[in-house]
Amino acid sequence: MGAASGRTRVVIVGGGFGGLKAARSLARTDVEVTLIDRHNYHLFQPLSYQVATGSLSPGDIAVPLRRVLRGQQNARVLIGEVTGFDLEGRRVLVAPVIAGTKPYRLPYDRLVVAGGSTYSYYGHEQWRRLALEVKSLDSAVQVRGRILAAFEAAELTSDPLEREDWLTFVVVGAGPTGVELAGQIAELARDTPTEFRASDPSSARILLIETTDRVLGGFPPSLSRHAQKSLEAIGVRPMLGHTVTDVGARSIELQSADGARSRVSARTVLWAAGVMASPLAQTLAEACGAEVDRAGRLAVEADLTLPGHPEVLALGDMVAIRSGADGEPRALPGLAPVAIQQGAYAARSVAAALSARKMPPFRYRDKGALATIGRARAVAQIGPLRVSGFPAWVLWLVVHLYYLVGFENRSVVLLRWSYSFFSHGRGTRLITEAAGTFPEEESPEDGA
């Protein structure tokens, strides 16, 4: 079954790294590509925490999908919320996200689902409004508002204890995002003390909570130790071996490895711990009678196809890939290079199907890992090479500029980073009305 033009219809769900790479990689193939996402933009998620801390503007790390694909004549972009999959009828069910529009069904011959992931609150969904995350653009802007509003609130109060509460920032999760977010908050606090008269932002407490015994657990121990020392040097206090047991509007409760519980007063709690697959994984699993793992990931074949449906590929954070050796599903790191490589593979798979060629199993080429702690401080692992300090920071800059979509974005981000490095300034410290609000006050027991 094909389109009226006779060309194969390829529907791609998700405009993230994997979905966009798949769409662009099909530019020179004889197919009709439809990319659908609930947003009209591609977000460079690895830098969303810099929007949250005022280093970059939303437009610096997001680019309209239509702009990216404007020169690709065989591709179009649709906005909508995918709510279901009719695998037998080969249709995608879409609900409107724009008021006044209607739901629709999108037919396909080949389907690529790249739904990504979201942060997991480990069954405590009531914490989501209290401890914001920075994985989405809207949430990053809201986090920026809360951080900056906390500094403003500290300036307004004359009560030392209340001021301390406002100037205490808790980041949950010491993976790359948590480390980078905590480091940026510390630098923001250190960069702005002369702008305030009654309060001193540089006295802020930044606590980094981690259940395990080291920060950046996915890095070699030597780089983890270097990252921890760098964090401590700029005023971040890593609290290792602590688990969050309760989040309230004015405090957070922790449990140490020995079982002791304590409560920390803080008005700003940010979440960077653990991820769950996009709900689309569960939706797709229900459509084909499969199951998902504890993290919500759907098991796919070694060639990324859905079991029993070779015309459907799923990729990115929402899947675990069955091993060709023992058939056990294994999840790859939730990194942009993984999704990009899988998106390119999905495009090659679609092209191979047009000529009845069989694809070899997907193989991920590990390009290493990077994390920045602050100005001129970073750690990097690329193969056997381990780098820290200023060289790792330069490498981090180059890699992130390379992966940014669009020349304009790269140029603007480079200029902003240069300005921030030499002037210690941040040009986007804006509090919008919606983003500057805090959750309603409640007693500690109410947050359980």
Residues assigned a catalytic role: 180
User: For 48, phi and psi rounded to 5 degrees?
Assistant: -65, -30
Question: b vs e for 130-164, b when ≥16 Cβ sit within 10 Å of the residue's Cβ?
Answer: bbbbbbbbebbbbbbbbbbbbbebbbeeeeeebbb
Closest alpha carbon to 143 in 421, 436, 339? 436
Coil/strand/helix, residue 427: coil
Query: Would you give the DSSP letter of residue 382?
Result: E
Closest alpha carbon to 112 in 17, 247, 201, 237? 17
Q: Are 277 and 318 in contact (CB under 8 A)?
A: yes
List CB contacts of 295: < 8 A, sequence separation 6 or more: 120, 275, 276, 277, 331
Closest alpha carbon to 319 in 292, 340, 351, 353? 292
**Six-digit token string for 15:** 């405009």
User: What is the C-alpha separation between 435 and 403, in angstroms, rounded?
Assistant: 28
User: What is the C-alpha separation between 107 and 86, in angstroms, rounded?
Assistant: 9
